[in-house]
Structure 1
Amino acid sequence: MADHVGLTPVLARAGDSWRGWPVAARIALIYGLSRLVTTAIMLLVASGSPAGSRFGADPSLIDYVLGWDAQWYWLVAVSGYPHELPLAEGGTVAENAWAFMPVYAHLARLVGFGAWGAGALVVSLAAGFVACLALHGLLRRRVDDGAATWAVTLFASAPLAAMFQVGYAEALFVAFLLLALWALSARRWGWLYLLIPLMGYTRPGILAFALLLGLYGVHRWWRRRSDPLPVREVLHILALGALAVLVGFSWQVIAAVVTGVPDAYLQTEIAWRRGWLPDTTGFVPFEGWIRAAPLWFSLWGLPTWIGYAALAVLVLGTAAALLSRRVRALGPEVQLWSASYVLYLLAVFFPQSSTFRLLLPLSPLWGAAPRSRAGRLITLALCLLGQWLWIAIMYGSGNTFWQIP
């Protein structure tokens, strides 16, 4: 008991000292340690990689950095986009570079001075750190410093934290997104005119931000008596919403003009879906999840009705979570963004292994994590376990259709 009593002041002083550090320094330490842990997990997984995996036996870290979709971004950086859409057997459009936006690909090439892999690693690492700073700044407007710092810790250690050090555009997109959500919550409208195009040409998802702006405008109008809504802000919300819609659809127009195929982009995206649903001919909103529900459960040897029931439970459970008190406490910007992005995913994506990666833009919800010390430590442990499992499955042994990060 005496030792415990004597230790308490030491821990208290250590806590006071830690809280006295500049926010950027604390986040840098958290982020740096998190990246070391992720690197250690990747090295451990690589050491046990079987010869039959996509990367073969004993791959290097650079093999992981350049693996899977990173190859498409590299192709965009060095070869650009095809003027003629490649065709698969049967005459349908095959997978091609039009599915991958240009900002990350060319920024990695610029930063790496031509060494694309090195540039991709640096951009992802730097973007992850910026995302951590932006997440803390966004959440700090609604929760205390301890909760915001723990949210950053969980974000930096999340099951898909490997995205911060591989050649994917997710880290850069999330950095732009969190900065945009901070700008919206702080009503720094000028930043959004820059961030919306950057998001839109980094990876798909800007149409969800357009929906957010529409819902945010309705929210502000509804609360205009308690939170005045000047005409100047109305004009900004309308203009930014229009910009997000314009950017969101512009990539389809660019692809159509370059290739001469009106629906070149949609056909390109559908090319990936045909691996699961060969009879897919065109894009129908929400069709992906509705058709995937019976498909996946039949592959697992279960009745298809269970798939529909599971989808209904998933949708209702997600809606309930987004309406919870803890999520509401994060502010309307986070709550409305989360709802907009979930609706966007339901409308346009086909659920498969990459869906876990597509959940990264919901990272502001780490602010609703448990507040107790035990809850936080358990959540962190689960994050690290999930990180190891995801890296082991998607990179270590990944060699089939359901092991694509």
Structure 2
Amino acid sequence: MALRELTRRPAPAAERWWLWPLALWIVSRLVSTAFLVAFAGRQETNSWTPAAPDLLDYSTMWDSHWYFIVSQSGYPSEPPLDDDGHVDENAWAFMPVYPLLARALMLTGLPWEGAALLVSLATSAAFAVVAYRLFQEIAPGRERFALAIVLLSPTAPVLQLGYAEPLFLLLLAAVLLAWRLRRFEWLWVLIPVMSLTRPGGLALALALGLWFLWRWWRERDGFDAAERLGLVRLGLWSALWGFAWLLACTVVTGSLDTYLETELSWRSAYIGRQELVPFTPWAIGLEWWFGPWWPLWLAGIVAAAVALLVGPWARDVALEARLWTIAYLVYLAAVWFPQSSTWRLLMPIFPAAVIVAALRPAWARAAVLGASIVLQPVWIWFCWHVNAPDWTVP
């Protein structure tokens, strides 16, 4: 089966259907570029750029510098330690596929900034096409507005910054589309690449496990032994790759704790050094942010997520998309410490945009889209723009 079959529109199909998502991608990039250019001209000198940097430099700040380090130097066999002897922030927190692709482009003579942004732009354009095709499968008739919500969302500038998100979203969209079309042979290839771009293998394993249980409960006799075995194998494959980067870090550094300690180093600036106990980071983080009111915030977040995914407006959305969204949110609940990067970390639940696309009347959808665009400069200002001292990382 050729890859183009994954993006083929079902019959009857309009010719050149892909022109719509590409046109929307172009419009969305013009909007985000205009905001980024405006803020770049007001950027003061910082750790990454001089004052008023050009767009290339402004688009490759923050974690993009870590990806540059990976592209040039790889990963340390002896991670740095802080003054207390704990593993400090280092390159192991950043997976290799994105920086290696940019490094390959640098062989053509492109500087890092140009190569990194070219990868992001190309993969975000491809993501728009594959996501559109996915939306056609999971909620027919909602694909145009759903894609507009994704490409013009508050965090949409990330789709053209020196970050791995555009590549990861492309791979994730391809995985979900292959799953929906039952082209499981593609998952064996896509899952490893996706899992070495951004963390996602464990969430996908959970989603596949939930789908297994649902089919076992609902289909029984129709869920034959061969399908059950194949699904178990895929789930285990995804779980294996979900741990692959931790294992690679362990082999290179000789310590099982290095990867986890590296990840925990980023939250130590907020709460100091603490052990990771699954499903406690949100309680700890919300208490740090909101004090004694944190239980109300936590209850509100959970209620909003449940309402979004199990309300009547979600019933017409394909089960695979809902299961992925649930699994990814459970994954974040288990390991993620809530801070300003949370908005970017929520981008993989982009299939939920088809639920928002069900809003009625039309003015409500227009209001949501307008609010998304208005919030882009808000996100740039508070999360991307460097306002020293800056603790609202993107």
| TM superposition score normalised by structure 2 | 0.91
Aligned counterpart for 2:240 among listed residues 223, 242, 246: 246
5+ residue gaps, structure 2, are 1-12
Partner of 1:289: 282
Provide the residue aligned with 1:389 in structure 2: 378
Partner of 1:257: 251
Structure 2 residue corresponding to 1:274, chosen from 247, 255, 268: 268
1:398 is displaced (CA, Å) by: 3.6
Per-residue CA deviations over 1:14-59 (Å, capped at 9, x if unaligned) read xxxxx96622111111101110111111111122334579645312
Q: 1:403 aligned to 2:392? A: yes
Structure 1 position 46 matched with structure 2 position 46: no
CA shift at 1:274, angstroms?
0.8
Q: Is the 8 A contact 1:151 1:366 kept in 2?
A: yes
Q: Do 1:160 and 1:387's aligned partners in 2 also have CA atoms closer than 8 Å?
A: yes
Given the superposition, is the C-alpha separation of residues 122 and 372 from structure 1 closer, same or farther in structure 2, using an over 3 Å criterion? farther
Aligned residues: 378
Distance 1:192 1:264 in 2: 29
> C-alpha deviations, 1:239-276, integer Å up to 9, x for none?
11011111111211111111111211001101111111
Distance in structure 2 (CA, Å) of the matches to 1:328 and 1:117:
44
| SS state at 2:266 partner | helix
Q: 2:126 aligns with which of 126, 130, 138?
A: 130
> Which residue in the other structure is 2:335 paired with?
348
Three-state SS of the structure 1 residue aligned to 2:81 is coil
3-state SS of paired residue (1:276) = helix
Amino acid at match of 1:321: L
Residue pairs, 1:137-152, within 5 angstroms: 137-145=133-141, 147-152=142-147
Aligned to 1:170: 165
Partner of 1:104: 98
* Seq. identity, %: 38
Q: Secondary structure of the residue that 1:23 maps to in structure 2? A: coil
Whole-Å Cα distance in 2 between the matches of residues 132 and 371 of structure 1? Answer: 24
> Which consecutive unaligned segments of at least 5 residues does structure 1 have?
1-18, 298-303
Q: 1:237 to 1:305 in 2, by over 3 A?
A: same
Mapped partners of 2:58, 2:200: distance in 1: 25
What do you get for the CA RMSD once the two structures are aligned? Answer: 1.9
In the alignment, is the contact (CA less than 8 A) between 2:138 and 2:321 conserved in 1?
Answer: no
What is the distance in 2 between the residues matched to 1:54 and 1:92?
A: 26
For the pair 1:323 / 2:318, whether they are aligned, the reply is no
CA distance in 2, matches of 1:76, 1:117: 14
CA distance, structure 1, for counterparts of residue 193 and residue 213 of structure 2: 25
Does the Cα contact within 8 Å between 1:95 and 1:271 map onto a contact in 2? yes
Deviations 1:352-377 (A, max 9, x none): 01111000001111111225432222
Distance in 1 (CA, whole Å) between partners of 2:16 and 2:206 is: 35
Q: Is it true that 1:61 corresponds to 2:63 in the alignment?
A: no
- Residue identity opposite 2:286 in structure 1: A
Report if aligned partners of 1:289, 1:349 keep a CA contact under 8 Å in 2: yes
Q: How is 1:115-126 mapped onto 2 (pairs within 5 angstroms)?
A: 115-126=111-122
Q: Which amino acid aligns with 1:323?
A: V
- Correspondence for 2:324 among 334, 337, 352: 337
Change (3 A) 1:154 1:112: farther
Letter in 2 for 1:128: S
Provide the rounded CA distance (Å) in 2 between the counterparts of 1:335 and 1:243. 21
Deviation of the 1:223 alpha carbon: 2.2
The answer to whether residue 76 in structure 2 is matched with residue 82 in structure 1 is yes
Residue 187 of structure 1 corresponds to which residue in structure 2?
182
Report the AA paired with residue 357 of structure 1.
Answer: R
- The Cα of 1:134 is off from its aligned counterpart by 1.8
Q: Which moved more, 1:55-64 or 1:34-43?
A: 55-64
Q: State the AA in 2 paired with 1:83.
A: S
Report the structure number with the largest CA radius of gyration.
1
Q: Distance in 1 between the 2:23 and 2:159 partners? A: 15
Task: Report deviation, 1:205.
Answer: 2.1
* Stretch moving more, 166-175 or 367-376: 367-376
Map 1:8-27 → 2, pairs under 5 A: 22-27=16-21
CA distance in 2, matches of 1:50, 1:79: 29
Q: Deviations over 1:222-244 (max 9, x none)?
A: 2216x932333222211110111
